[in-house]
Copies of this chain bind each other. A is one copy, B any other.
């Protein structure tokens, strides 16, 4: 039987009971696969890798080595949450790498979106590879948060290889315990494993992180303004009960300044672009018709609290012609 094909009679995991049955089954399967060997995992803080980490911790405890690479492009509080949940609450074997300076130095002056993505992706592999080599001799398995849509999208090809693009001398046997699950099932599992709601319901977040939302050539001051404005947006959407109702929402800040007036003095600062979309399949997306009071409150808070921002705009562009991200 093809291990990458979800059995047709497999029940959709929608209840705590079904989730716990799956967890028990996978704990046994992981122990059988891994034995007393060690397992490496790149823990981004996203739903899939977080759930796989929690599952492996339950199965094999400190035989799992989680590596969290903070590329300096995380949203406000995200790396801190990864450390808090996995190191402090779940007592995981966590390697935390603050690679902010490495990434920002490489990205200095690079404005072209594809060039930025390539730099971030390649450097991410490089940093993870360095950590993998440190423990490579004692580790045989690489755990990954592959889910069933990943397999469907790649016709089953992608999941047979190290997704990370590690060099040939660093190939591990893969451990992908949620590879037959859909996203909603992964979330149910995550809840039963005790992960916090904000992590289980985390919005999709691009691999290059805020790097593709700090539009054009990234600078530390503009990246800082973006992070603060984005945090305000997420806070206000949560307070308005929109978390999980609007599919994705975030702020982008372009490398472009507009005129304003602050305390009677001319300001020449960045605009913050609010992007919110609803989608069924991510191939097309609609812009939600938000409450004006909410938009105005977010606008007022960003203008008041974020140094360097003197404008707030709302992106009205559906996909197509716009993409969800601005670059």
**Which A residues are closer than 8 A to B by beta carbons?**
113, 215-216, 254-256, 258-262, 267-268, 273-274, 287, 289, 292, 295-296, 299, 303, 310-323, 325-327
CB distance from A229 to the nearest CB of B (A): 13
- Beta-carbon nearest neighbor of A274 in chain B: B316
30 A-B residue pairs with CB within 8 Å: A113-B268, A215-B256, A215-B258, A216-B256, A254-B254, A254-B256, A254-B258, A255-B256, A258-B326, A259-B323, A259-B326, A259-B327, A260-B317, A260-B323, A261-B319, A261-B320, A261-B321, A261-B323, A262-B321, A273-B313, A295-B316, A299-B317, A299-B318, A303-B321, A311-B317, A312-B316, A312-B317, A313-B313, A313-B316, A314-B316
CB distance from A275 to the nearest CB of B (A): 9
- Beta-carbon nearest neighbor of A324 in chain B: B259
CB distance from A105 to the nearest CB of B (A): 24
- Beta-carbon nearest neighbor of A320 in chain B: B261
Q: For the complex, what is the distance from the CA of A260 to the CA of B113, rounded to whole Å?
A: 12
* Of B215, B303, B313, B320, the contact of A314 (CB 8 Å cutoff): B313
Q: For the complex, what is the distance from the CA of A321 to the CA of B256, rounded to whole Å?
A: 17
Q: Is the CB of A317 within 8 A of B310?
A: yes
CB distance from A246 to the nearest CB of B (A): 15
CB distance from A17 to the nearest CB of B (A): 42
Q: What chain B residues lie within 8 Å of A254 (beta carbons)?
A: 254, 256, 258
* Of B113, B267, B303, the contact of A259 (CB 8 Å cutoff): B113
CB distance from A34 to the nearest CB of B (A): 42
- Beta-carbon nearest neighbor of A312 in chain B: B316
Task: For the A-B complex with A259-B326, A267-B321 known, give 17 more contacts whose Cβ atoms are closer than 8 Å.
Answer: A113-B268, A215-B258, A216-B256, A254-B254, A256-B256, A258-B326, A259-B323, A260-B317, A260-B320, A260-B323, A299-B316, A299-B317, A303-B322, A310-B321, A311-B317, A312-B315, A313-B317
Q: What chain B residues lie within 8 Å of A321 (beta carbons)?
A: 260-262, 267, 303, 310
Q: For the complex, what is the distance from the CA of A81 to the CA of B124, rounded to whole Å?
A: 59
Q: Is the CB of A311 within 8 A of B322?
A: yes
Q: For the complex, what is the distance from the CA of A274 to the CA of B273, rounded to whole Å?
A: 13
Q: For the complex, what is the distance from the CA of A132 to the CA of B319, rounded to whole Å?
A: 53
Q: What chain B residues lie within 8 Å of A267 (beta carbons)?
A: 321
Q: Is the CB of B256 within 8 A of A325?
A: no
Interface centre among A258, A310, A314 (most CB of B within 10 A): A258
Q: For the complex, what is the distance from the CA of A314 to the CA of B317, rounded to whole Å?
A: 10
* Of B216, B268, B313, the contact of A315 (CB 8 Å cutoff): B313
Q: For the complex, what is the distance from the CA of A117 to the CA of B316, rounded to whole Å?
A: 30
Q: For the complex, what is the distance from the CA of A267 to the CA of B322, rounded to whole Å?
A: 9
Q: What chain B residues lie within 8 Å of A261 (beta carbons)?
A: 319-323
